[in-house]
Structure 1
Amino acid sequence: MSIRNLEFLFAPRHVAVLGASDRPHSVGATVWRNLARGFRGELFAVNPRQPDLGVPVARDLDDLPHAPDLAVICTPPATMPRLIAALGARGTRAAVVVTAGLDAQQKQAMLDAARRHTLRILGPNCIGMLVPHLGLNASFAHADAQPGQIAFVSQSGALVTAVLDWANDRGIGFSHFVSLGEHADVDFGDMLDYLGSDARTRAILMYVESVTAPRKFMSAARAAARNKPVILVKAGRSAQGSRAAASHTGALAGSDEVFDAAISRAGMLRVNTLHQLFLAVELLARFRDNRSERLLVLTNGGGAGVMAADAAAHMGVELATLSPDMIARLDAVLPGNWSRANPVDIIGDAPAQRYVDALRILREDRDSAILFIQAPTAIVPSETIAEALLPLASERPPRVLGCWLGHGAVAEARARFRAAGIPDYPTPEEAVRAFSFLRQYHRHQAELMETPPALPAGLAPDLDGIRRLVHEALAAGREWLTEPQAKELLRLAGVPVTPVRTVPPDPMAAATAAEALGYPVVLKILSEDITHKSDVGGVRLNLHSAQEVVEAARAMLARVAERRPDARLAGFTVQPMVQRRHAHELIIGASIDPLFGPVILFGQGGIAVEVVADRALALPPLNVALAESLIERTRIARLLRGYRDVPPAHRPSIHTALLAVSQLLADVPEIAEIDINPLVVDAEGAVALDARVRVSADRPGGAARFAIRPYPQELVETVAWQGGTITVRPIRPEDEAQHLAFLEKMDPEDIRLRIFYSRRSIEHSELARLTQIDYDREMAFIATRTGPDGRPETIGVVRGICDPDNDTAEYGILVRSDLKGRGLGRLLMERLIRYLRGHGTRRIVGTVLRENKGMLALVERLGFAIRPHPEDPDLRCVELPLQPGG
């Protein structure tokens, strides 16, 4: 249901407490007391007992003067369906159900009653929620929250109160504090949608135990993460261990690594523990604008500096190198025995001015953040040092992290830094870890905003041939393709493979096939019952003659008969031995996660793939930039760059293989698992030496199961226009440069009429938002034709942005200024209307300048209703219903 009616939940004008009580320590009494203490709106109490609360108490809902916007329900589980139905009928549109213990039948009856009235439910079994700027504490938490700009959403009520207690002690305020409880209705996706567009919220923090509706969650997360930091800690990060699986990738289905891949793809940041979430809160509250990649350490103790340096090395944080000029300037203000390197140890006897002089010089490195570490000494009180440093340390944008070592002796200094908004950590390790979180977050954001280059040319899968192979296997009652079939499927998808000859279980037949292929060759056993051939001695490499092939085949048959007498043997496969001097063995795989759907794996391959465990996961669909990011998250990526006399591996061929697998997962829903291991790559390219593919008649994959909707290729069409043809298609991330060229050719007056302003430039981040869209919630069709230089050029664009409920889409349209009046605007608008109608959107709306006669005439011909804007006489509101009764 998403954000519909959530304004009544989080910004109510009047609130009723059902079950308000005077019984000490009861939930009803605590909720009433919390609300009565600070809520500035109208407050009602409802209880048949009519306890003495110092205000009139209604016996039931009918006694209230009018329907409350929000009801907080503290009554027994059996009352819930009846109360929700009565509230909905009265006109209430939101409820907080703090009651626990609803059984499945009661919960469903409650939801059914709410759905009839579009009444939103937070809970059940939740502590409630707090909106500090309204004085709204609709919870049984032990304290109020301070107003601020961070939202915290948790499935765990206990963590809500723990974080609240910790934040109050640290002086950190919040825009919203929300306990989801069992999230029967309002869930994480809804909260991300609501908070992502909330002007009071600068950052969103979440404690997650489970996610439902993954595509909704991912769409909401990606939208929110584009606007503000989203950081979460998720319970359940327990290692699955090495479990038996038919493919290496299949073993990861349902694993925590998949959740990590989803978080990364959505541009969010995940931390591992509640303590780390606290570190992230501290940094976001006070350091959110810092984008430094490197760290400078300023300390009065060499040991503390070493601790910080060790932590940086462990966490992959780069320590900045001091320039010769900076060293010379520090020499002028520091004693001769200072460290002359980073960490900058200014010696334990440092007076306050030495700290100030050193910090002033270090701040000149604009690309580095500064970690200040001070251990108390008898030379000068720590609070004196803090006071001297504050003018520099508190300058904006923020550059300084504080670490006052100790407790009582540094308490006042720490308090002064915190009061000035400077992040503070008790140990160097925690400070470095917090900084590493910030860097990781910014990298996820950069990935979210990247402009991918064009897709590799020539990636055109033979879908008819692929589907024929899949259906042949399913018709034969097999779920695993044979190795020859798996390799043929990959070849048809665009992945280079070695040629394979299949022969009966006859050593002489294997030798004949080897002679035809040319030596050296690889011999493998062929059996539907043997998953990993190496485990039974079913692989022999580098055979150079017919005699070696015959001997290897006979020995292989004997070993298989001994180790797997139950296995049915179909024969042998023979293929050329690929010998590349500087080759790397990689693995590319795919499986279906039960929550997030299709997942792609990349890492170091070979027979020791589980032992090495060098791998990374990503959610499809992939493009070149995302494929490269996936590669870079592995350790083998460093080897692929080349070293000593080993040239760099051919990255485009790896990209092609990853993109081919991504496309297979979208196009062929019967594919359940893929293992390409090894994919051998060197400077010349990549080739798959072995592969396994599992298929299922249940069709577990396909684009419909993607957590992120892939590019809707089916919406691309060629259209006759002005005596020629144009292509009308959904916009792609790769269109950024083309889209910029289109906007630069627009007349400023046309931009003003369409977008209400005119600018001479547009930022990359804004272009990325225009071209990298979530196809599940937004659609932008561009019209392109071949330009004078022979390359495609954009000549028009129409865009429809749906609200999270898919109730209303707001449109926008631009046609190149020199092509106006030729029917292109109408063509694009009709295409958008047709799409949105099929997408289930109820209506399309827009706001048009009164002077824009051309646009008003166009929408009137298309059937839009036109009316004056209620607040601005220079604007017109236009609306077109898209569904019956809409």
Structure 2
Amino acid sequence: MSTRHLDSLFEPRSVAVFGASDRPGSVGATVWANLAGGGFDGPVWPVNPRRPTLGTHKVYARASQLPEAPELAVICTPPATVAPLVAELGARGTRAAIVMSATLDARQRRALQDAARPHLLRVLGPNCLGLLNPRLKLNASFAHVAAAPGSLAFVSQSGALVTAMLDWAAARGVGFSLFASIGDRLDVDFGDMIDYLASDPHTRAILLYVEAVESARKFMSAARAAARNKPVLIVKAGRTPAGQRAAASHTGALASSDLVFDAAIRRAGMLRVGTLQELFTAAEMLSHHRGPARAVGAGPHERLTVLTNGGGAGVLAADAVQAAELALAEPSAAVLAALTRVLPAGWSHANPVDIVGDAPVARYVAAIEALHTDASPGTLLFIHAPTAIVPSADVARAVVPLLQRSPLQPMTCWLGGDAVREARAASRAAGLPTYDTPEEAVRAFSMLQTYRRNQELLLQTPPAAPAEPLWHATQVHAPIEAALAEGREWLTEPEAKAVLAAVGVPVVATRAVAAEPEAAVAAAQALGFPVALKIIAAELQHKSDAGAVVLDLDDAASVRDAAGAMLRRVHERLPGLAVSGFSVQTMVRRPRALELIVGATLDPLFGPVILFGSGGTEVEVVADRAVALPPLNRPLARALVERTRVAQLLAGWRDVPPADVDAVCDVLVRVSQLLADEPRIVELDLNPLLADAHGVVALDARIRVDRQAPGGSARFAIRPYPADLSETVAWQDRWLTLRPIRPEDEVQHLEFLARLDPADIRMRVFYSRRSIEHSELARLTQIDYEREMAFLATAPKSDGSGEETLGVVRALCDPDNVEAEFGIVVRSDLKGARLGERLMRKLIDYLRARGTRRLVATVLTENRRMLDLAGRLGFDYEVEQTEPGTRRIVLAL
């Protein structure tokens, strides 16, 4: 739905518990005891028609007797009572309810939705454990222990897991800003929770336990928006392939739902971890991480320096780094010289830096300062084992301030128990990621690198297709329409190759002929020998398994004999198979080429997905593959390739030169564009796709289609860059481009802001100052087009060095698309030229087309230009003003 009224759910001023009691073991008794005894400052009211009091609290018989409408209602009553109660509360003014009642049937669930909807009353649950907000001392749950205050938010689909996590966290002193069980997600779902927590100032990182999500695009929009602001970490249940659907193509068989979910998490800039322990390990690192999360390329950011007073601990760390396929930093000559000056002669002279077990405090300090000689980026893992030489607490008092100021990203590992307890606490209090073992620290470091790479993918917003198609639409659509007209869902191999060739994918020359040996001979002579011969049959997808492929035919006689033998063999093995002809293709001999697979399929939740990996007849056995969500551009395609083992072979080995990876990436991008353009394609295989230093060529191809057109860019889980909204218009004596903003506009946008007068900045909604932080600027240029839109007016610079931004209008829609809030700013030297009106009309047309109901803004009363523009565009003024000196304007769309 949206974040509307979620503040009433998570930060209520008053709470009523319906079904409150003191019956031992009941949900109502546990919830009431937790709420009444938790220290919540607001009024709490028990409601139960069978009891006059609970302890010192008066019990109310029904909702109508309460002193006022509770902002939050906690419902622990029988299923049949829930919907009528919600309807009554909503009419009275309650804005949120936690429904703990379980076993609501389908009719009761529909009734609950119908009761809540007219009042915009938000429902958490049903069948949930409730929520805890430790900062407010709000425990509206039937958990067996409370949560300590902190900055991590934990949201779980499983109530049982909530109780286990609370127990685990309490034993380790982990605190939370919010702890919630969302149960059956009748209303409030993961998308809503992520949206709310993304802007919650008390939450530093969001932790999720997910079993399933419902709306892929809503989930991805919320996750991508949140991941730009703070770490979002997720444990997703269901990694095993049990229950995977049967599929006719290799892609369908390989692209399991868990691989797709993993691809979605990666593309959204989140981090997936395998266990609850890893969830907190990653949170410890990412929530304390300094500097930009997005690395500028790999390399220095992925190198680790280990400083330790114990050689064994350093070896364990080094082993863990190698096992994680990461690298220890190579100390520079300057660093080695600086360390040699301050360390004993027997020091390790390498990384890990072993300062020897008898190190006094001064040696620790000197070694850290020596490592700062080289300011290259990287991470420093400080490992300390307790000794009798110096108390660990003394070491901590000296090194923790140094690590806080270190140009390297610091991590600490204090080995031991009671002897290092004070040192470990000092590190955590200083905001340093702190771990119990070297292996745990390296695992956190590894997760940081994965998170960096995922954040890089978050920046990519490619279009679904180029502004001008690279192919003629008829050449793509005609074979599909012919197959559907004949009642076929599978294109023949020549038809599939024709579609792929039309979008620019290199395919081997292929001809389709009748199922007669002489026709195959004629085609082979026309193509030139040698050739490959294959059977064409709509029901036969894996031809090699049926003996329906013969390679390396060098003359007419061998083609004739192979064709006759193939027909007999196929009819013996597959009686009744309808053979429609032969496929004759030029025999490609590229002995050093790698066999790859590029495929696509429709995931039930996330829509079209693209697969890449090792190809050939053993593709399902080798199972070297990776999956990505379209749309793809070259960087995203390369990232997909690099997640496979075959990527190492593509880089070349021994005397085999590197393959043309750019050509491979181009195929992936073109397949992505094909999926966007042709929604009737539901499954696709290029296998094998040969790749070597000379390029790529597809030897075989399969495409399955569906006349219901369930695919296309409308089903993409991530809305592509809307290039179709760009237009060129005449304005004054020049031509302008009106287009959606792009991530790469960041530098241009900063130049635009620098040319605004301070008074213009003050009167605009989205900008508060001329100087703007990178993170804030990134949020303005890296938008999710599903929920936000920003149109730029750009023009070529007078010196021909590129384009410049003249104005921008921006609208942010609430997730249910009811209301959009806008802001507009035009370059100060262009005021009065009606450029703002041109931008506003484009925005209004766009919002009307997407079904948004209202466009609103809060405007300073002194901003006469904006108020006059609003009047010309038909905006109305709201009578009630939220703040003095402002007017809220509204346009019904």
Secondary structure, in 3 states, of the residue corresponding to 1:628?
helix
CA distance in 2, matches of 1:729, 1:683: 39
Q: Deviations over 1:32-55 (max 9, x none)?
A: 222223101111111112243212
Secondary structure, in 3 states, of the residue corresponding to 1:304?
helix
CA distance in 1, matches of 2:569, 2:771: 71
CA distance in 1, matches of 2:672, 2:709: 16
Match for 1:824: what amino acid?
A: L
Which residue of structure 1 aligns with residue 643 of structure 2? 633
**2:849 is matched with which residue: 838, 860, 870?**
838
Secondary structure, in 3 states, of the residue corresponding to 1:549?
helix
Q: Identity, % of aligned pairs?
A: 62
Match for 2:111: what amino acid?
A: A
Alpha-carbon spacing, 1:756–1:79, altered in 2? closer, same or farther (3 Å)? closer
Q: Deviations over 1:774-832 (max 9, x none)?
A: 22211223345667649776554322211223222122234455655444332321221
Secondary structure, in 3 states, of the residue corresponding to 2:595?
strand
Match for 1:139: what amino acid?
A: S
**2:228 is matched with which residue: 207, 226, 229?**
226
- Aligned runs of 1:683-832 on 2, under 5 Å? 683-717=693-727, 719=729, 721-722=731-732, 727-733=737-743, 753-754=763-764, 765-783=775-793, 789=800, 795-816=806-827, 820-832=831-843
Which residue of structure 1 aligns with residue 356 of structure 2? 347
Q: CA RMSD in A?
A: 3.1
Alpha-carbon spacing, 1:866–1:2, altered in 2? closer, same or farther (3 Å)? closer
- Aligned runs of 1:507-656 on 2, under 5 Å? 507-580=517-590, 582-643=592-653, 645-656=655-666
**1:859 is matched with which residue: 870, 875, 878?**
870
Uncovered stretches (5+) of structure 2, i.e. residues with no partner:
294-300
CA distance in 2, matches of 1:398, 1:545: 68
Secondary structure, in 3 states, of the residue corresponding to 2:69?
coil
Match for 1:621: what amino acid?
A: P
| Segment of structure 1 superposing worse, 273-282 or 177-186 | 273-282
State whether residues 718 and 725 of structure 1, in contact with CA within 8 Å, keep that contact through their aligned partners in structure 2.
yes
**2:54 is matched with which residue: 43, 52, 55?**
52
CA distance in 2, matches of 1:813, 1:617: 39
- Aligned runs of 1:480-491 on 2, under 5 Å? 480-491=490-501
Match for 1:200: what amino acid?
A: H
Which residue of structure 1 aligns with residue 298 of structure 2? none
CA distance in 2, matches of 1:330, 1:418: 27
CA distance in 1, matches of 2:689, 2:862: 62
Q: Deviations over 1:301-356 (max 9, x none)?
A: 33332221121112132211122222222223333332221112233444444334
Query: Are 2:44 and 1:43 aligned?
Result: yes
**2:339 is matched with which residue: 309, 330, 349?**
330
Alpha-carbon spacing, 1:345–1:552, altered in 2? closer, same or farther (3 Å)? farther
CA distance in 1, matches of 2:589, 2:283: 53
Which residue of structure 2 aligns with residue 431 of structure 1? 441
Q: Offset of 1:870 from its aligned partner?
A: 4.2
Q: Offset of 1:690 from its aligned partner?
A: 1.4
How many residues align? The count is: 882
State whether residues 738 and 792 of structure 2, in contact with CA within 8 Å, keep that contact through their aligned partners in structure 1.
yes
Alpha-carbon spacing, 1:359–1:862, altered in 2? closer, same or farther (3 Å)? same
State whether residues 46 and 60 of structure 2, in contact with CA within 8 Å, keep that contact through their aligned partners in structure 1.
yes
| Segment of structure 1 superposing worse, 478-487 or 630-639 | 630-639
**1:848 is matched with which residue: 836, 851, 859?**
859
Query: Are 2:379 and 1:369 aligned?
Result: yes
Alpha-carbon spacing, 1:457–1:849, altered in 2? closer, same or farther (3 Å)? closer
Match for 1:44: what amino acid?
A: W
Alpha-carbon spacing, 1:299–1:846, altered in 2? closer, same or farther (3 Å)? same
Q: Deviations over 1:517-541 (max 9, x none)?
A: 1233222222222211222233333
Secondary structure, in 3 states, of the residue corresponding to 1:501?
strand
Q: Offset of 1:513 from its aligned partner?
A: 1.6
| Segment of structure 1 superposing worse, 366-375 or 27-36 | 366-375
| Segment of structure 1 superposing worse, 353-362 or 469-478 | 353-362
CA distance in 2, matches of 1:102, 1:364: 65
Q: Offset of 1:764 from its aligned partner?
A: 5.7
CA distance in 2, matches of 1:642, 1:119: 60
Alpha-carbon spacing, 1:358–1:736, altered in 2? closer, same or farther (3 Å)? closer
Secondary structure, in 3 states, of the residue corresponding to 1:341?
coil
Secondary structure, in 3 states, of the residue corresponding to 1:23?
coil
Match for 2:843: what amino acid?
A: L
Match for 1:833: what amino acid?
A: I
**1:492 is matched with which residue: 492, 498, 502?**
502
Q: Offset of 1:409 from its aligned partner?
A: 4.8
Alpha-carbon spacing, 1:121–1:757, altered in 2? closer, same or farther (3 Å)? closer
Which residue of structure 2 aligns with residue 307 of structure 1? 316
Alpha-carbon spacing, 1:812–1:494, altered in 2? closer, same or farther (3 Å)? farther
Match for 1:4: what amino acid?
A: R
Secondary structure, in 3 states, of the residue corresponding to 1:227?
coil
CA distance in 2, matches of 1:867, 1:616: 53
Q: TM-score, structure 1 length as denominator?
A: 0.92
- Aligned runs of 1:411-422 on 2, under 5 Å? 411-422=421-432
Uncovered stretches (5+) of structure 1, i.e. residues with no partner:
none
State whether residues 749 and 758 of structure 1, in contact with CA within 8 Å, keep that contact through their aligned partners in structure 2.
no
Q: Offset of 1:410 from its aligned partner?
A: 4.2
Which residue of structure 2 aligns with residue 190 of structure 1? 192
CA distance in 2, matches of 1:212, 1:700: 17
CA distance in 2, matches of 1:739, 1:489: 40
Alpha-carbon spacing, 1:833–1:549, altered in 2? closer, same or farther (3 Å)? same
Query: Are 2:137 and 1:148 aligned?
Result: no
Q: TM-score, structure 2 length as denominator?
A: 0.91
Alpha-carbon spacing, 1:289–1:732, altered in 2? closer, same or farther (3 Å)? closer
Which residue of structure 2 aligns with residue 317 of structure 1? 326
**2:96 is matched with which residue: 94, 97, 100?**
94
State whether residues 158 and 183 of structure 2, in contact with CA within 8 Å, keep that contact through their aligned partners in structure 1.
yes
CA distance in 2, matches of 1:682, 1:66: 75
| Segment of structure 1 superposing worse, 442-451 or 752-761 | 752-761
CA distance in 2, matches of 1:339, 1:443: 32
Query: Are 2:505 and 1:504 aligned?
Result: no
Q: Offset of 1:592 from its aligned partner?
A: 0.4
Alpha-carbon spacing, 1:159–1:407, altered in 2? closer, same or farther (3 Å)? same
Q: Deviations over 1:432-477 (max 9, x none)?
A: 1111112211221222125879987975232233222212111211
Secondary structure, in 3 states, of the residue corresponding to 2:889?
strand
State whether residues 453 and 625 of structure 1, in contact with CA within 8 Å, keep that contact through their aligned partners in structure 2.
no
Q: Offset of 1:657 from its aligned partner?
A: 2.0
